[in-house]
C-alpha cells in the first residue's frame, strides 16, 4: 500500500515555498521591495492554476546559488524552528501515523532543499520533490529533471515507482491527500483520492466525484 501526501496547505498549515522566500526577505537576504510582491504574485498564480512553474523556479532557486551550502543549511535550521514547526499540526502527524506500515511519501512541487528536512520531521521515509541542480555540492540556481508539479507529479511518481519495480497500477491501494486543484492529475490516478481542506475548485471536483473531503484544521 502507498500513502502519498502533498505538503503545503495539506500536512502543513501554510506554504513552505512562500514562507522560505519570506524568511529570506525578513533576514535581508532578498530585497523586500523587489521580492515580496513577486513572491505573493507567484503564490496567487499557483492558487489560480496559472503558475508558470519554470518562471517560478527561476525565482525560487536562483537565491540558492548565491550562498554557500553551509550558510543555507544554517538558515534552514532557523527556518524550521521559526516558520515550519508552528505549521506542523498534531492532526497532520496523526494522519501520517495512521498510515504506518505503508510506503509513505511526501510528493510536492516545493524544492527538495526546503522540503527534505520537513519530511524527516514528519517521520516520512520518502520524498519526491522538485530537485535543484547541484554542482560540486553547491546549488547552481537551475532545476534538475522534471519539476514535480501538476502532470509532472504523475511522471515523477511513476519514475520513482519504476525504479522500485512497481507502477501505480500494480499497487493494491494508493492514497493521495491534497488541498489543491493543481494536484488533480495525480488525484485522478490513485485508487483513494482525498481532498484535505481543499480549495474551491478541488472541493467542487471532489464533491462531484464522491471523493472524501477532510479537514486537518
pLDDT tens figures, 106-149: 999 999 999 999 999 999 999 999 999 999 999 999 999 999 99
Handedness of CA 167, 175, 9, 197 (dihedral sign): positive
Total domains present in the chain:
1
- All three cell numbers of 140, joined, read 547552481
Per-residue pLDDT averaged across 52-79, rounded? 93
Q: Please name which of 67, 37, 66, 41 lies closest in space to residue 55, comparing C-alpha atoms.
A: 41
Banded pLDDT at 2 (limits 50, 70, 90): very high
Spot the catalytic one: 6, 131, 179, 183: 6
User: Residue 34: what pLDDT?
Assistant: 85
Residue 178 β-bridge partners: 195
| Each residue's pLDDT tens digit, 153-192 | 999 999 999 999 999 999 999 999 999 999 999 999 999 9
Banded pLDDT at 1 (limits 50, 70, 90): very high
Per-residue pLDDT averaged across 54-65, rounded? 90
Q: Is 6 a catalytic residue?
A: yes
Q: Is 8 a catalytic residue?
A: yes
State which residues form the domain around 143: 2-214
For residue 91, pLDDT beyond 90: yes
- Average pLDDT taken over every residue of the chain: 96
DSSP the chain: -EEEE-IIIIIBSS-HHHHHHHHHHHTTSS-HHHHHHHHHHHHHHHHHT---HHHHHHHHHGGGGGS-HHHHHHHHHHHIIIIIGGGB-HHHHHHHHHTTTSEEEEEEEEEHHHHHHHHHHHT-SEEEEEEEEEETTEEEEEEESS-SSTHHHHHHHHHHHHHTT--GGG-S-EEEEES-GGGHHHHTTSSEEEEES--HHHHHHHHHHT--EE---
| 75: CATH | 3.40.50.1000
Amino acid at each position: 500500500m502507498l500513502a502519498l501526501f502533498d505538503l503545503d496547505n495539506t500536512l502543513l498549515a501554510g506554504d513552505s515555498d512562500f514562507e522560505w522566500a519570506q524568511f529570506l526577505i525578513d533576514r535581508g537576504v532578498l530585497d523586500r521591495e523587489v521580492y515580496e510582491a513577486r513572491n505573493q504574485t507567484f503564490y496567487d498564480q499557483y492558487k489560480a492554476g496559472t503558475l508558470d512553474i519554470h518562471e517560478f523556479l527561476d525565482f525560487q532557486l536562483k537565491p540558492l546559488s548565491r550562498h554557500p551550502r553551509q550558510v543555507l543549511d544554517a538558515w534552514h535550521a532557523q527556518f524550521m524552528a521559526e516558520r515550519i514547526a508552528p505549521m506542523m499540526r498534531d492532526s497532520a502527524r496523526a494522519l501520517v501515523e495512521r498510515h504506518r506500515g505503508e510506503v509513505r511519501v511526501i510528493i510536492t512541487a516545493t524544492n527538495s532543499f526546503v522540503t527534505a528536512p520537513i519530511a524527516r520531521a514528519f517521520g516520512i521515509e520518502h520524498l519526491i520533490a522538485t530537485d535543484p541542480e547541484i554542482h560540486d555540492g553547491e546549488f547552481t540556481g537551475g532545476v534538475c529533471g522534471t519539476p514535480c508539479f501538476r502532470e509532472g507529479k504523475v511522471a515523477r511518481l511513476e519514475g520513482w515507482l519504476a525504479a522500485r519495480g512497481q507502477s501505480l497500477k500494480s499497487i493494491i491501494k494508493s492514497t493521495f491527500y491534497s488541498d489543491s486543484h493543481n494536484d488533480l492529475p495525480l488525484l485522478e490516478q490513485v485508487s483513494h483520492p482525498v481532498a484535505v481542506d481543499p480549495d474551491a475548485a478541488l472541493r467542487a471536483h471532489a464533491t462531484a466525484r464522491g471523493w472524501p473531503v477532510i479537514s486537518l484544521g
